Amino acid sequence: MSITPTRDPLELFEAWFAAARKSEPAEANAMALATVDAAGRPSLRMVLLKGADAQGFVFYTNYESRKGRELLATQRAALCFHWKSLKRQIRIEGAAAPVADDEADAYFASRDRGSQVGAWASLQSRPMEGKLQLMGRVAKFAAQFGVGAVPRPPHWSGFRIVPERIEFWQDARFRLHDRLVYERVGEGWTTQTLYP
């Protein structure tokens, strides 16, 4: 079955994402995030999509982590969703921009308390002597914030990947896969079918 283009790639993304939420056994919102450092060395890891709309694709992280530092420095990223159960993949490339403070505050407030304390405790991407060191930091911040609300750490927020290119890939027999690419042109999109 070939991919039917929509006017806007977000419409197609939403349809595929809805199907993935029904068929994937765990975390249909898992996506690979690719960044590069100042020397052009790539780095890839999995993160969780927390929002997608006409403005872009949002996830949250520690700005002092490797990915946070690289995104702040280069302001570029690529994402990849792969849903094995559906034999589908979506690749997204674009600019990376921090989300607004109020948006980050609202999402942080929605997290469970343990994750909020963990955001303060983890010195993400930095060397750790052992798990005991981390658990000591968790105990320290749990005590510091007592039973009240845990504020969002200044080093913890979100990024929005503003898509410039989105490719939809659908598996087909004999490796004759379907590939449809959207490229941003001004306020609109062009589409192109690619050879598999």
Q: H/E element holding 31?
A: strand 30-36
Mean pLDDT of 93-112: 98
Does residue 119 form part of some domain?
no
Is residue 129 one of the residues assigned to a domain?
no
3-state secondary structure (DSSP) of residue 33: strand
Instruction: Look up the CATH number of the domain holding residue 17.
Output: 2.30.110.10
Does residue 158 have a pLDDT over 90?
Answer: yes
Residue 1 has pLDDT above 90, yes or no: no
> Domains in the chain: how many in total?
1
- pLDDT at residue 137, rounded to an integer: 96
Does residue 88 form part of some domain? Answer: yes
pLDDT at 89: 98
Q: How confident is the model at residue 82 (pLDDT cuts 50, 70, 90)?
A: very high
pLDDT of residue 25: 85
Mean pLDDT of 94-111: 98
Asked whether residue 146 is domain-assigned, the answer is no
| Averaged pLDDT score across all residues of the chain | 96
Ranges 110-114, 123-127, 188-192: which has the least confidence: 123-127
**Confidence band for 2, pLDDT divided at 50, 70 and 90:** confident
Q: Model's pTM, two decimal places?
A: 0.94
Is 4 among the domain residues?
no
Residue 167: Cβ within 10 Å count: 18
**Spatial CB neighbours of 34, under 8 Å, sequence gap ≥ 6:** 42, 43, 44, 77, 78, 79, 80
Q: What is the pLDDT of residues 4-26, one digit of tens each?
A: 999 999 999 999 999 999 999 88
Q: What is the mean pLDDT of residues 142-162?
A: 96
What's the domain range around 40?
9-111+154-194
The answer to whether residue 71 sits within a structural domain is yes
Report whether 31 contacts 159 (CB < 8 A).
Answer: no
Residue pointed to by tokens 């890891």: 45
The answer to whether 22 touches 118, Cβ cutoff 8 Å, is: no
Q: What is the mean pLDDT of residues 29-56?
A: 97
Q: Compute CA 139 distance to the chain's CA centroid, rounded to the nearest angstrom.
A: 29
